[in-house]
Amino acid sequence: MEKIPSAEILSKSVKITVLNKLGKTIDEFDMRAGTNLWVFLRKRGLPIGAACSGVGVCGACHVKVISSDMNSISEKNDFEKETLIKNQKSEKERLACLCRVFSDIKIQADYW
């Protein structure tokens, strides 16, 4: 079961830096802590995979999360791990549709 972050954490805003495959910053924005990453990226207008409409089965929304803080993003559960394996994605990647963000992160995808 996912841990519920404190009200203090959820009241903050977090910075998301979007990197292209070469590591160049292509976008930077703030969002409310605890927000679903995939939902916000779509609202922002960034191209992100969505073949399963964000239910975590297609693997199309895979991104690499760069952060030194293990608690900056929701924990990867068994379902997400299975989807990454079934869709031949790296175990180091995350599915944006299954991630909630709690502190500043950088994200990178090979399709940006």
Give the interface with ligand FES as residue ranges (CB under 6 A).
Answer: 38, 49-52, 54, 56-61, 83, 95, 97
Half-sphere exposure of 44 (CA within 13 A, CB side): 19
Q: Minimum CB separation from ligand FES for residue 11, in Å? A: 27
In the complex with ligand FES, the residue whose CB is nearer, 9 or 46, is: 46
What stretches of the chain show up as alpha helix (H) in DSSP?
7-10, 37-44, 78-86
In the complex with ligand FES, the residue whose CB is nearer, 53 or 71, is: 53
Q: Minimum CB separation from ligand FES for residue 46, in Å? A: 13
C-alpha torsion sign, points 13, 75, 54, 112: positive
